[in-house]
Structure 1
Amino acid sequence: MHKPRPYALYGTYLDSEDLMVMGWGMHFRTFGRTLHYDPDSAKTHTADDPDRLVRLYSRLADVRLDWLDLEPYAISSPASRQNGDTGPTPEPSG
């Protein structure tokens, strides 16, 4: 099982020079779904992944996607925390 990865989506709309927040959310790798909040519409949406949202917003803006965690990681079990593991366990590469 994997923890959801938080992200922010922001950039400048093509007709404006002002930096705008286009939303934020979490990608649930385990379920292959993304939960996204759009502050302009005050609505929450779902998508297959954040990259799909980038493609959608790219029609209107110069968009940037920033992950708010360092890397995806697995949830550490309570037993591993009792054995001195204090942080997330990185996923194996590949």
Structure 2
Amino acid sequence: MNRREPDVKHINLDTQDEHVKQFVLSLQLDTEGSVLEAGGKPVARVVPVNENSGCDPERLKQAILNRRDESRALNEEWEHADREVWHRE
């Protein structure tokens, strides 16, 4: 199965002003990327290019399990709060 790259606009940094090029290249790019803000509001997210277009199945599984556990804990908190509010005797 071929993976199709999403339709995104490609901007050649080599044709941009040197200050712009240096700014973009200086951004800290971890796996989550960087969020650019203007006026205190996010305007863009810059994420690194994933060269191998794959993911580590173990890291993905762990992330899913962590998210599931966080969601369950939050649901329990909400259910507890709901019982306190609506089921008072």
- TM-score normalised by the chain length of structure 2: 0.24
Structure whose residues are more often strand by fraction: 1
Q: Work out which structure has the larger RCO, using CA pairs closer than 8 Å and 6 or more positions apart in sequence.
A: 1
Structure whose residues are more often helix by fraction: 2
